[in-house]
Amino acid sequence: MKTYGTLSQNTLKNKKSMGKIEILAMEKEEKMMDEIKNIIFVCNNGNCRSQIAAGIFNKKAAQMNLDIRALSRGIVVLFEEPLNQKAEAVMLANGIDTSGLKSQQLKNEEFSKDVLVLVMERKQKEVILSDYDNAQNVFVFSEYNGKSGDIVQPYGKTLTVYDNCYKMIQEQIDCLLEKWRTDNARN
């Protein structure tokens, strides 16, 4: 497939139906993907959804020989907590190493141009953008992948709900990695 800069022919065809702001946002996102070295997945407490996302991403990125590492952070971590037990059970059942996982607070100094921050819910993005002076490259995970909706907190629900949450996050990770694979194939 022929490319123009980082844009493929298919992308250029799709641009005909887009507005100028959408095109600029897409080009910025493609440029940013080339610069990303780390991903920080963020949820409320940093001991469930963000841990699941980081675990899945790191396992798959290692299998694909990607030089990108994912971290898990929370926006309300008063003290380190162990991984949520049901999240741990679902991760272990899916072959994700959970040893030593504990919640950690998101820190202002962790933001940079080579860090992509993906949150589970729109309200988390709003909190980060208002409370962190260095906040940049912050996106709602599903929206970053061109989908809509939050990845809902399973806390206090059944193991089946945690498993469904795992599957939803895994689907988002697969979309993200496909985006990276496609972008890298063009370069």
Encode pLDDT of 142-174 as tens digits.
999 999 999 999 999 999 999 999 999 999 999
Helix, coil or strand: residue 176:
helix
| Positive/negative CA dihedral, 152, 156, 161, 165 | positive
Q: Is residue 61 part of a domain?
A: yes
Can you give the pLDDT at residue 96?
95
Positive/negative CA dihedral, 96, 100, 61, 150:
positive
Residue 56 neighbours by CB under 8 Å, 6+ apart: 94, 96, 166, 169, 170, 173
Stretches in the chain below the pLDDT threshold 50? 1-15, 22-29, 31
Closest CA to 100 of 74, 67, 72: 72
Question: Looking at residue 130, what is its pLDDT?
Answer: 97
103: in domain: yes
3-state secondary structure of 64: coil
CA-wise closest residue to 128 among 75, 80, 79, 78 = 75
99 assigned to some structural domain: yes
Residue 96 is part of which domain span?
16-179
pTM for the whole structure: 0.82
Domain-embedded: residue 4: no
Amino acid residing at 18:
M
Residue 9 in any domain: the answer is no
Q: Cβ(108)–Cβ(145) under 8 Å?
A: no
Q: Does residue 168 belong to any structural domain of this protein?
A: yes
For 66, residues 6+ apart whose C-beta sits below 8 A from its C-beta are: 177, 180
* pLDDT (0 to 100) of residue 66: 87
pLDDT digits (tens, 9 = 90+) for 34-44: 688 999 999 99
CB-based contact 167:51 (threshold 8 Å): no
Total count of domains within the chain: 1
- Domain for residue 35, yes or no? yes
User: How far is the CA of 118 from the CAs of 7, 28, 49, 66, in angstroms?
Assistant: 24, 16, 11, 18
Where residue 164 sits, what CATH number does that domain have? Answer: 3.40.50.2300
* Token pair 């980082």 in the structure block, residue: 6
